[in-house]
Structure 1
């Protein structure tokens, strides 16, 4: 691992405006952040009265980086801006919490606004596809076998799109929305609502093996909504559908390109 880049955006909204600050840290390096003072020096200064003088520290290891929350009262959030709302919470006094994101935003709460900075880590390293070849025995079964060229996978991506685009943390696309979303796709131009429902049932029952949700008092609509939410929750948790899969959907009307992150 070649280290990480810590970036603090410019603070143009304050009276003593400052420009952006960037720190490069290598394996074994530690950077402390907080409000700081003459007796408490910090490498990353966050000049807000609600931020502790010594709020936390970043420690870089050989293959990841860790975040320590030195506050006694405030929890911090570590967000994945590229992960459809993915985040985790670092509670007070938690030391050395490993951060799995390649691009992360550390958020500290204050009374009037959120104070945040970004951390860019190198791309994750993956093993080759050889795996355990030559060890003998029967082959390992694939947990979830999805054909990414199939129509049902297009339906699955359209179903997950609202969460992947962070438009809603809870909503999933309805059948009419999926039909309309795929109308301009060369393969799905004549896709009907009944066909979409069949693809969703096939995904839940055959490909993902999701048990029928709801109790005895759940009506058909409740069971179907619960099934959709269970599908989306499962595939996003295990990364079976990712943000880059949105490229297989037709362009959205009036859609604008997302701004690229500068500095990575």
Structure 2
């Protein structure tokens, strides 16, 4: 999609989408006047997108979503059938919203945002700057038909969305993940349990908990374990944030912790 020239008087109604300085995903800068849209995703094969995030990452939808400018604010559509995206408020570390699958036209109430798209080898992200913070209530847009399912499986049988945060919910590592998320989901204090508390909750050894945490961070969420923070607390915090941000663990998964006769398995 070509970028139309913008008048100087319209500069206060331009939404800018650009490369994230914290991401390796290359991207041109896009200036959107009111009413303009930019598509994003993996692209390729008859699926042309304006912002190609991950040409070789098959866990990213070919047409993953849209950014729509409304002048003083913008909206996002998540066209994935089975994964959530995250929009972070870069001006406040704790501010973010989750964009569920099959969401059309969700209003983003942040002036400066980072959009995170989960992939097979980590995340792809880009920045969106609106001219003014929007105070409207965050609600999904009008319900319409779901996106074309041609993007889900193409004529060669290539399956997208395949390997992004894939979890085996019968393995002990997933029970460890749920146990770490349990206090946050139940609104308990403190929200981050200790390694020993998780070990006692699951009736396994602290060393096993440590091994499962390393496996989840490195192999599932692609988080660098070296130099990621100070002390042990950052590992648990990173694990919880990744799981809850992208909806890998939700309240309905807490039943896993109460299941009886559950035989723990090794890393998988």
Band the TM-score falls in, shorter-chain normalisation: 0.3 to 0.5
Please tell me whether Structure 1 or Structure 2 has the larger radius of gyration of its CA atoms. Answer: 1
TM-score by length of 2: 0.43
TM-score by length of 1: 0.43
- The structure, 1 or 2, with the larger RCO (C-alpha pairs under 8 Å, 6+ apart) is 2
